[in-house]
Amino acid sequence: MTTVSVADAQVHLTQWINRALSGEKIVIAQEDETMVMLSPVKKVKKQRKIGNEPNFIVSMSGDFDEPLEDFQEYMK
């Protein structure tokens, strides 16, 4: 972990960001008090939504909701 002053962070911010992106923990402190820690943002995998595919066509037979013939006996 590398600790830098606020003044140093202002002057060399790009350098500290690059080092943080490479995996190093960078802490920005003011008068020995930790203020901020630089760390890379984890990429969040976008959740897939059902039915979100524009070219996906779902078709069901017209009698989809009708009871199956095999179960007619149990429906009486």
Walking along the chain (76 residues) 10 residues at a time, the average pLDDT comes out as: 93 95 94 91 81 74 84 78
pTM above 0.75, yes or no: no
Rg (CA), the chain: 29
Q: What are phi and psi of 18, to 5 degrees?
A: -60, -40
CA–CA distances in Å: residue 73 to residues 9, 30, 65, 66, 68: 78, 80, 17, 14, 10
pLDDT of residue 75: 74
pLDDT of residue 73: 79
Residue 49, amino acid: K
- Annotated domain spans of the chain: 2-37
Intra-chain end-to-end CA distance of the chain, in Å = 74
The contacts of residue 48 (CB under 8 Å, 6+ apart) are none
pLDDT of residue 54: 73
